[in-house]
């Protein structure tokens, strides 16, 4: 194998691909990244079985071939090696991949290509199209609400639900729930599947808000799903099982409706969180009344903190407490200038919505304080 490429292309591709290199692998081969050069394309594979990544970059292949080397080290060296173009090569029956730059060289021991679990292109008949920006918003507005790894498996992922021309994503840890939906330009057959949060977080890392708004093809079968866009392919296993019905946990009425500036409310929550962190249950208290929100928290060991925020409040005055992370998390993803908070009483869930977006709902269960 022998090919020439731009260092920046290879570095960018590896930076993403290393995300699917196993951190504590069961077998050494999973520390590897697989590369295959042919013609004008290098294909890079990484696979930790939960997530698989394929990235293609343009190269100039002199001798086609394939190789597996330690992924983390390959990325470290390619990132740091001087020069603009690199030559990567191995010799038949050698066990070394050479990376040559102007004044520097690296040799990495190779591993067996046949042992490496190459990522399979999804051949699923089922697929739909979505814009990268839409997909990014759906993921980032829900994925934070998933349950931790040690919970029921189905709640460690986000549920995708497709119905006609609407896509809906839901995540919950049973104490809070985030639901985002968007219209698609076309109509598709109904389907639903649960995708591990880790795969979605990996995908988020590749879709920058500054990127051109691309088309993503999502192909799925019963056990796997693949996102394809822009010479990048991210495959993910699906989590078995389905979400229980969640519609009824979203309160449909409220007796107190609050509208408050998103940035001001977020700042108040983040400030008082410094004290909530010192309490046993991360508790933050909200007192709604007189068109004012008092955000406060008290710790018996450290003291107390309070911040006032002006708000429009319709309906009854109310005092209600939450785990501060449940509120701080949603305030990080609210995009509208103001946020609506619907409340009923101090034991009933609060509902966060964006005034200009019917598609987003976040529900948080209060703590009894």
Binding site for a second copy (CB under 8 A): 70, 73, 76-77, 80-82, 96-97, 103-109, 267-268, 270-271, 274-275, 278, 301-309
| Nearest to 160, CA basis, from 185, 184, 186, 125 | 184
Cβ density class 238-262: b for 16+ within 10 Å, e for less: bbeeebeeeeeeeeeebebebebee
Q: Rounded to the nearest whole angstrom, what is the least distance from the CB of residue 332 to a second copy in the complex?
A: 16
Whose Cβ is closer to a second copy: residue 263's or residue 347's? 263
Distance linking the first and last C-alpha atoms of the chain: 66
Nearest distance from residue 302's CB to a second copy, in Å? 6
* Residue number with CB closer to a second copy (100 or 230): 100
Q: Cβ of residue 141: shortest distance to a second copy, in angstroms?
A: 26
Q: DSSP readout, 278-341?
A: TSTT-EEEEEEETTEEEEEEEETTTEEEEEEEE-EEEE--EEEEEEHHHHHHHHTT--SSEEEE
Nearer to a second copy, 38 or 264 (CB): 264
Tell me the Ramachandran region of residue 135: left when phi exceeds 0, alpha when psi lies from -120 to 50, beta otherwise.
Answer: alpha
Report the distance separating Cα 322 and Cα 313, nearest Å.
Answer: 19
The Cα 260–Cα 311 span in angstroms is 5
Cα separation of 9 and 249, whole Å? 47
CB 5, min distance to a second copy, A: 19
Contacts of 93 (CB under 8 A, 6+ apart): none
- Tell the smallest beta-carbon distance from residue 132 to a second copy (Å): 33
**Based on CB atoms, which residue is closest to a second copy, 107 or 230?**
107
Judged by CB, which is closer to a second copy: 110, or 142?
110
CB of 295 to a second copy, least distance (A): 9
Cα dihedral 182→163→156→32 (10° resolution) = -80
CB of 301 to a second copy, least distance (A): 7
Question: In this complex, which beta carbon is closest to a second copy, that of residue 9 or of residue 278?
Answer: 278
Q: Tell me how far apart the alpha carbons of residues 102 and 127 are, in angstroms, rounded to a whole number.
A: 45
Q: Which is nearer to a second copy, 246 or 271 (CB)?
A: 271
- What values do phi and psi take at 211, rounded to 5? -65, 155
Q: Which is nearer to a second copy, 78 or 364 (CB)?
A: 78
Closest approach of a second copy to the CB of residue 267, in Å: 7
Residue length, the chain?
369
Between CA 135 and CA 138, with CA 136 as vertex, the angle to 5 degrees is: 65
């Amino acid at each position: 194998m022998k090919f020439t490429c731009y260092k920046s292309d290879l570095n960018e591709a590896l930076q993403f691909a290393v995300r699917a290199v196993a951190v504590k692998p069961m077998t050494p081969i999973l520390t590897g990244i697989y590369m295959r050069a042919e013609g004008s394309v290098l294909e890079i594979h990484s696979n930790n079985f939960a997530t698989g990544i394929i990235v293609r970059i343009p190269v100039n292949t002199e001798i086609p071939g394939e190789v597996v080397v330690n992924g983390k080290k390959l990325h470290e060296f390619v990132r740091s090696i001087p020069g603009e173009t690199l030559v990567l090569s191995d010799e038949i029956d050698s066990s070394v991949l050479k990376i040559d730059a102007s004044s520097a060289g690296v040799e990495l021991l190779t591993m067996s290509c046949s042992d490496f679990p190459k990522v399979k292109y999804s051949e699923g008949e089922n697929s739909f199209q979505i814009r990268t920006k839409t997909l990014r918003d759906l993921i980032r507005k829900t994925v934070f609400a998933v349950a931790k790894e040690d919970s029921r498996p189905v709640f460690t992922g986000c549920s995708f639900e497709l119905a006609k021309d609407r896509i809906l994503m839901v995540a919950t840890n049973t104490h809070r729930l985030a639901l985002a939906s968007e219209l698609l330009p076309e109509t598709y057959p109904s389907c639903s599947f649960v995708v591990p949060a880790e795969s979605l977080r990996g995908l988020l890392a590749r879709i920058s808000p500054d990127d051109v708004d691309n088309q993503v093809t999502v192909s799925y079968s019963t056990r796997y799903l693949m996102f394809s866009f822009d010479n990048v392919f991210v495959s993910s296993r699906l989590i078995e099982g389905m979400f229980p019905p969640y519609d009824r946990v979203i309160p449909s009425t409220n007796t107190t409706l609050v509208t408050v500036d998103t940035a001001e409310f977020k700042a108040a929550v983040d400030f008082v969180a410094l004290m909530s962190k010192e309490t046993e249950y991360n508790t933050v208290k909200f007192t709604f009344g007189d068109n004012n929100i008092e955000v406060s928290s008290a710790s018996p060991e450290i003291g107390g903190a309070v911040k006032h925020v002006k708000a429009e409040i319709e309906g009854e005055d109310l005092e209600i407490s939450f785990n501060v992370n449940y509120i701080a998390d949603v305030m990080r993803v609210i995009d509208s200038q103001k946020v609506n908070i619907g409340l009923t009483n101090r034991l009933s869930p609060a509902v966060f919505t964006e005034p200009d977006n019917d598609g987003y709902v976040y529900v948080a269960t209060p703590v009894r304080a």
